[in-house]
Chains A and B, each alone.
Chain A
Amino acid sequence: MEKKQTVPFQGTKEQEAQLLSVIEELKKEKGCLMTIMQRAQEIYGYLPIEVQTMIADQLEIPLEKVYGVATFYSQFNLNPKGKYQISVCLGTACYVKGSGEIYNKLMEKLGIKGGECTPDGKFSLDACRCVGACGLAPVMMINDEVYGRLTVDDIDGILEKYQ
């Protein structure tokens, strides 16, 4: 089921031109759809229905196909993410060292559930699978910054840095 779109689409002409040139460059390659969608997400930050429609039209394939791929893979976002994207690793190594508690604490602090974004657009929270820094477990990432060997008590201090 499609999630309710909370933010109106605000794509610019430049973004559109960029997307069209990406499609033009890749469309002859076999199996190009996913690659195009990944590039589109880099351009727009997420894949709203407007962008999916553009891709479908350009490739002359049904929108259902694009939407099907977009909803199958967890990295495609139908909704925009926060300015600061928090992802807590819930891979096994982190989980046995207590990342579940870190995740719960963040949901409580931010007042949102996993996959959601705070109303001011500042923070979004996701659980992720193994960032591969198992030596530092438990781990979370805020954008590209990695925080390791976390305890629940570290959370307040870390969030404050982004206020």
Chain B
Amino acid sequence: MFRSHVLICGGTGCTSSGSQQVAAKLEEEIKRQGLEKEVAVVKTGCHGLCALGPIMIVYPEAVLYSMVKAEDIPEIVEEHLLKGRVVTRLVYQETVNAEGIKSLNDTDFYKKQHRIALRNCGVINPENIEEYIGTGGYEALGKVLTEMTPDEVIQVILDSGLRGRGGAGFPTGLKWKFASGNRGNVQKYVCCNADEGDPGAFMDRSVLEGDPHVVLEAMAIAGYAIGASQGYIYVRAEYPIAVERLKIAIAQAREYGLLGKDIFGSGFDFDIDLRLGAGAFVCGEETALMTSIEGNRGEPRPRPPFPAVKGLFEKPTILNNVETYANIPQIILNGPEWFASMGTEKSKGTKVFALGGKIHNTGLVEIPMGTTLRTIIEEIGGGIPNGKKFKAAQTGGPSGGCIPAEQMDVPIDYDNLIAIGSMMGSGGLIVMDEDNCMVDIAKFFLEFTVDESCGKCTPCRIGTKRMYEILDKITKGQGTLEDIDKLEELAYYIKENALCGLGQTAPNPVLSTLRYFRDEYIAHVVDKKCPAGVCKSLLTYKIDPDKCKGCTLCARTCPNGAIEGTVREVHVINTEKCIKCGACMEKCRFGAIYKE
């Protein structure tokens, strides 16, 4: 028995900010103080508060130390772990008040969250199957195999109202039902989409890193429900920590007889293999993903036939994403009514969002469906840094759209997001402030789609390229009002005619910004100005005569000789010669150079 447990985050975010070095130092110091029999160090997955990493929590007090450095460790070990005095200076300041340290669950960041998919993330050691079992892991699989028929399992998932967390929100139970015919006579497959390609979304990665067994358990349950004996997890190769933990988890589950032959003595066989992606966004599309597992170029194919009929290796297949699976065991254990009691009428349960961009608390949050964007950004996220003004939130990645301030009070669920021109997507939520140009953002996403289009169908291959060219023209100040119309027309055409989800949703970033920020497009086209000051060609650099000291540094820095002036005289930028590289502004020590 240990009297104290120190949880330290080993997720990608905290690892990148140095949590491995902190953990090593911690173990060393604990040993030096002779506490190794009293204090246990547990390397967990993501706690969610990535902005403050590396994060360390000391139990039983539940004190959270944020932005911990290796140099802080001797003090924490000696003061807190040895003498029992919390090092308040290093504690997450949100939890510190006059009476002492308040519970994490009372902080703005955690208070409104409800963790189902992230239940174990940041709590257990993901590399130890016994910790998962200790929190009720594999109980749902046991229940399913010993007490329920496959049809009952499907009915429970149907009744829960769970919809796919990967993007489109298709009812999970229905998908399973479609693939359930002819059990026992046909080879079938259960696949897991862990190819989280949406830039800025990392919830699936966090589940895989923090609680890999939940995915294995849920896949086995799905296998039992549809009558499949083999599963594949298709995971991004860019997630080395997740891949490693999955490998460990699969090996441990096999060793414990929770994967393999005759699981729980029920006669049910199920095993799982990993397949690594190789960096193609389109492989998040279900048919493309299966083509890729087969070892081919990951091009999508037309549906029907749907994967439930003809999927991987031409056999009936179901594919769900990581977060969807992470909900399954809890639904089985707590019942469908429990799950359906959370959320909105058509979107049940919770959703994990990856908060990023211009927001204080970047990180991972899980909230009940129906929470408003305002709550997420202003309360949980802690608002926008540097006193800037909120402009838009981008959800759904390259397939989604930008939600403006006037829509901040809409309860977030699948259908509402589509109604306001965005989509749930996998759950990336990037906040933008007044310094972000919406035309530039639209161009950024189109550049992404052009790059990632597989090239199989013409609307996507050529259409997105043309859209990108028009946007590029607009950001360079060469656009016309006609171009905006053309852009819109093309967007609708691609939406209707592209082969797969990637192409059909690719115009969304443009359509949503046109809908809510048309004035910015007009400013670029008519006034030849970028209101946010982002699009280089539309900026002019100027020198404030009141601030300029005439030090000549800018004139010497300018690569094009565009700055004139003599020593101790106010300098002037010749806008004809200026190439807008911004080098002068970077170098000026008096903040005298500005752009407009």
Contacts and interface: CB of A to CB of B under 8 A. Distances in A.
A5 interface: no
A130 B201 contact: yes
Nearest to B197: A129
A96 B532 CA distance: 12
Contacts of B106: none
A68 B200 contact: no
A93 B362 contact: yes
Contacts of A68: 297
B279 A75 contact: yes
A152 B13 contact: no
A92 interface: yes
Interface residues of A, number: 37
B278 to A, nearest CB: 3
- Interface class of chain A by DSSP: loop
A139 B15 CA distance: 13
Contacts of B205: 132
Contact of B430 (A75, A76, A96, A129): A96
A135 B294 CA distance: 35
A96 B278 contact: no
A96 B200 CA distance: 10
Interface stretch (A13-21, A31-39, A78-86, A117-125): A31-39
Contacts of A132: 12-13, 202, 205, 238-239
Given A90-B199, A135-B13, A135-B362, A96 B276 contact: no
B237 A75 contact: yes
B313 A30 contact: yes
B137 to A, nearest CB: 24
Nearest to B274: A35
B279 A34 contact: no
Nearest to A134: B356
B298 interface: yes
Given A91-B200, A129-B197, A146 B280 contact: no
A132 B436 CA distance: 21
A134 B200 CA distance: 6
Interface string B454-478: 1000000000000000000000000
Contacts of B16: 131, 133, 136, 139, 146, 148
A77 B115 CA distance: 40
Contacts of A34: 275-276, 278, 292, 295
Contacts of A56: none
A91 B432 contact: no
Contacts of A91: 199-200
B176 to A, nearest CB: 23
B17 interface: yes
A137 B281 CA distance: 21
Interface in B234-260: 237-239
A131 B238 contact: yes
B281 A92 contact: no
Given A73-B279, A91-B199, A93-B430, A33 B12 contact: no
Interface in A84-134: 90-93, 95-97, 128-134
Contacts of B448: 129
Given A30-B294, A92-B428, A152 B276 contact: no
A40 B202 CA distance: 28
Contact of B199 (A30, A35, A130, A135): A130
A133 B15 CA distance: 9
Contacts of A69: 295-297
A148 B67 CA distance: 13
Contacts of A32: 295
A33 B291 CA distance: 12
A31 to B, nearest CB: 4
B199 A92 contact: yes
A72 interface: yes
Contact of A96 (B15, B294, B432, B586): B432
Nearest to B299: A72
Given A30-B313, A93-B430, A38 B200 contact: no
Interface in B1-27: 12-13, 15-17
A74 interface: yes
B444 interface: yes
A129 B238 CA distance: 9
B397 interface: yes
B239 to A, nearest CB: 7
A97 B200 CA distance: 12
B358 interface: yes
Interface in B184-217: 197-202, 205
12 contacts: A31-B296, A37-B278, A38-B237, A69-B296, A74-B278, A93-B357, A93-B430, A129-B448, A131-B238, A132-B12, A136-B50, A146-B17
Given A93-B356, A132-B205, A136-B17, 20 more contacts: A30-B295, A31-B293, A35-B276, A72-B280, A72-B298, A73-B298, A76-B278, A92-B394, A92-B428, A93-B199, A93-B430, A96-B357, A96-B430, A130-B200, A130-B202, A135-B13, A135-B17, A135-B50, A135-B356, A136-B16
Interface of A: 30-35, 37-38, 68-69, 72-76, 90-93, 95-97, 128-137, 139, 146, 148, 152-153
Interface of B: 12-13, 15-17, 50-53, 197-202, 205, 237-239, 275-281, 292-298, 313, 354, 356-358, 362-363, 394, 397, 428, 430, 432, 436, 441, 444-445, 448, 454, 586
